[in-house]
């Protein structure tokens, strides 16, 4: 059975949150085929970099993060980047759906932000019915079952 791993779930596997223990236990004990998309990788990398930069460098906005990376690279978050890369090596990576009409329809119907609509549309396209997420917004999507981790 395929279960789509959302950004909030993936970040909880890597970065300590109040959901980390639950996420790790579910991921390690469950027997399922974990899937994600390129959009989830991008969102996980960006959000994770922002969280690490805020914690380690007190950088609190995207502009400052971009300038820091431009000058210094990713060394400040090498552990996070490596762990994310290793995790995505264990996950089946799907191409994001390219049907913008479907993405727009899902965004409007379920009142989702664009990236969440893209994720839901990708799940619909591939026939994936279950998603591991801590994002409550996916509970509004009637063709997805949010896995209670």
User: What is the pLDDT averaged over residues 48-75?
Assistant: 96
What ranges do the domains of the chain cover?
A: 2-147
pLDDT band at 126 (very low <50, low <70, confident <90, very high): very high
Q: What percent of the chain has pLDDT over 90?
A: 96
CATH class of 2-147: alpha beta
Quick check: 73 pLDDT over 90? yes
pTM of the entire predicted model: 0.94
In which band, very low, low, confident or very high, does the pLDDT at 115 lie, cut at 50, 70 and 90? Answer: very high
In this prediction, residues 109-135 reach a mean pLDDT of 98
Which pLDDT tens digit goes with each residue over 28-42? 987 899 999 999 999
Share of the chain above pLDDT 70, in %: 100
Indicate whether 149 pLDDT > 90: no
Report CA torsion sign: 74, 80, 83, 89. Answer: negative
pLDDT averaged over every residue in the chain: 96
Task: Quote the crossing angle between the two packed helices 114-126 and 38-57, to the nearest 10°.
Answer: 140
pLDDT at 30: 79
């Amino acid at each position: 059975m395929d279960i789509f791993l959302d950004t909030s779930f993936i970040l909880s596997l890597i970065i300590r949150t109040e959901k980390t223990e639950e996420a790790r236990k579910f991921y390690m004990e469950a027997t399922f085929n974990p899937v994600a998309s390129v959009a989830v990788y991008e969102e996980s990398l960006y959000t994770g970099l922002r969280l690490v930069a805020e914690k380690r460098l007190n950088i609190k906005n995207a502009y400052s993060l971009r300038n820091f990376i431009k000058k210094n690279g990713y060394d400040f978050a090498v552990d996070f980047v490596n762990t994310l890369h290793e995790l995505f090596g264990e996950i089946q990576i799907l191409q994001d759906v390219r049907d913008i009409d479907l993405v727009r329809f899902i965004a409007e119907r379920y009142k989702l932000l664009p990236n969440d609509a893209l994720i839901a549309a990708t799940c619909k396209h591939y026939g994936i019915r279950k998603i591991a997420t801590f994002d409550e917004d996916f509970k509004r999507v009637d063709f997805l079952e949010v896995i209670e981790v």
